[in-house]
Amino acid sequence: MSISLKNKIVCITGASSGIGAATAMEFARHGAKLLLCARRLDRLQAMEAELRDAGSPDIFNVALDVRNRDAVHTTLANLPEAWRSIDILVNNAGLSRGLTKLYDDDIDNWEEMIDTNVKGLLYVTRAIVPGMVERNHGHIINLGSIAGHAAYPNGSVYCASKAAERFISDGLRIDLNGTAVRVTSIDPGMVQTDFSKIRFRGDEQRAAKTYENIDPLQPEDIADAILWSATRPPHVNIQTVLLTPTAQANAFVITRKS
């Protein structure tokens, strides 16, 4: 029997677009209260009416850059009382920069990926999980990637950051063993979002080639996997979900339509 999400508080980072926005909509449809975090507050505010119409009884938007340790601590420590008992944390904020051989890459790309995908994940988790432990209730759902399972050419630092997410999730699950708090890693393959446009710093033509002649996953597919993991009975912990488009066998093998 699945868990009801009605009036549960769901915190989603990177919620202003892509997988984060699709996940917010999926939880809204199931009656969850949404604590939405993103750097672009205006994007969150623009989504609010649609999320309320979909069924969310309450929404609290927060401007937050997960890379900023002090901001994460201050913002999440000073949430209104009604929003502090977070039931589900979706650590979705993440990005990739560049597709270049390690020895040629811009070090600033590394800094941004590590600060967001690894340190940002840690900062938010450290701020929220102690409350879950105290209440003996909660679920942390981290967004990983197929890139965390095997490195691919010209993406070594991004792959390393997602491998770090996978092992952080595994280690946190061990640390929480004996409590009722669950940990899940959702690891998608190719998903059609702004991911490639961000990776190539706005080069839409280059980004479009990523999804050329293939039916990639959509953000809603990932949101569906997140929702499914979150609604399993309390004695069930979905540890990892690795999902790809049918045309993608692994990080290397992709069949494109002719």
Active site residues: 158
Report the SS3 class of residue 137: coil
Burial class (CB in 10 A: 0-12, 13-18, 19+), 212: exposed
Place of tokens 């840690």: 122
Measured on CA atoms in the order 213, 214, 215, 219, is the torsion positive or negative? Answer: negative
Place of tokens 């900023």: 68
**Helix (H), strand (E) at residue 123:** helix 121-135
Give CA separation, 238 vs 50, 133, 163, 227, 229, in Å: 30, 19, 18, 11, 6
